[in-house]
């Protein structure tokens, strides 16, 4: 499928000629033609100058947030805590962290090779990242409320044991139980703190994807305005008439 583009005053016409012998449906041929079009795949210097190094910085922070999600999620799942069953069965910190890392890589690639196609793909991915960041905030908030620690026999079995035992515990047992309860509170505080850090990182990720999306849209709009300016009225760019240096004859 070949793609040709014609520009007029405020109008852009794309002409696509389909291949009747191709087994792909017309929509796939259109997408393939647009992706392989030199207009979409060629590197734009205007996009490069407009974006600067902003996307690389955002991409590096994306990757950092993703790695922290995976690392803290591993610590939470490997601890003694009892968490929301979705986290234990699906392991959402791992695939959310992987998605955040992927978003960061796309930000860096769209800056190193700033073609319109890559910038558009980066904008679409970051728009999807808004939903994933909000989902991460909700998941970690639910997990924070469900976090608990099973220690020191403070469940139903432990209470029934002390209720039905006539002999009073020894001073050593009382001290050990007190120390165990203090350790339990410390572990619970650490686990909840990790969940709070993950919520803060998810909020940061939400800000990152919004910033990257806005920057990409601004770059695309600025590139389109720059092309319109270059394709403007050719009479505006015609050279001035050379001045007549010879004096008129009397």
Query: How does pLDDT run across 178-189, given as a tens digit for each residue?
Result: 888 888 788 888
Percent helix, strand, coil in the chain, to 5, is 70, 5, 20
Q: Are strands 2-8 and 11-17 parallel, antiparallel or unpaired?
A: antiparallel
For 128, the 3-state DSSP assignment is: helix
Alpha-carbon distance 27 to 14, whole Å?
14
Can you list the residues of the chain whose pLDDT is less than 70? 1-51, 80-81, 151, 153-167, 169, 223-250
Instruction: Work out the angle between the directed axes of helices 171-230 and 116-146 (0-180°, nearest 10).
Output: 160
With a threshold of 0.75, does the pTM exceed it?
Answer: no
Alpha-carbon distance 57 to 55, whole Å?
5
- What is the predicted pLDDT for the residue at 15? 67
Cβ–Cβ under 8 Å, residues 211 and 178: no
- What is the predicted pLDDT for the residue at 199? 95
Nearest to 18 by CA among 32, 35, 31, 2: 2
């Amino acid at each position: 499928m070949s793609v040709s583009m014609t520009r007029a005053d405020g109008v852009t016409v794309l002409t696509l000629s389909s291949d009747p012998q191709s087994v792909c449906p017309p929509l796939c041929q259109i997408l393939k033609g647009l992706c392989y079009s030199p207009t979409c795949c060629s590197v734009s210097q205007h996009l490069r100058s407009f974006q600067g190094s902003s996307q690389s910085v955002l991409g590096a922070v994306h990757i950092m947030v993703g790695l922290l999600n995976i690392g803290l999620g591993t610590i939470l799942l490997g601890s003694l805590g009892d968490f929301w069953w979705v986290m234990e069965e699906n392991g959402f910190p791992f695939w959310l962290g992987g998605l955040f890392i992927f978003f960061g890589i796309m930000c860096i690639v769209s800056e190193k090779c700033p073609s319109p196609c890559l910038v558009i793909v980066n904008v679409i991915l970051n728009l999807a990242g808004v939903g994933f960041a909000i989902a991460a905030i909700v998941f970690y908030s639910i997990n924070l409320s469900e976090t608990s620690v099973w220690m020191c026999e403070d469940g139903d079995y432990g209470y029934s044991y002390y209720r039905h035992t006539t002999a009073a515990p020894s001073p050593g047992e009382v001290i050990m139980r007190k120390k165990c309860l203090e350790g339990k509170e410390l572990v619970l505080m650490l686990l909840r703190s990790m969940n709070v850090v993950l919520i803060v990182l998810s909020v940061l990720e939400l800000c990152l994807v919004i910033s990257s999306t806005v920057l990409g849209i601004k770059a695309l709009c600025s590139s389109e305005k720059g092309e319109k300016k270059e394709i403007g009225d050719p009479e505006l760019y015609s050279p001035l008439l050379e001045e007549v240096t010879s004096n008129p004859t009397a």
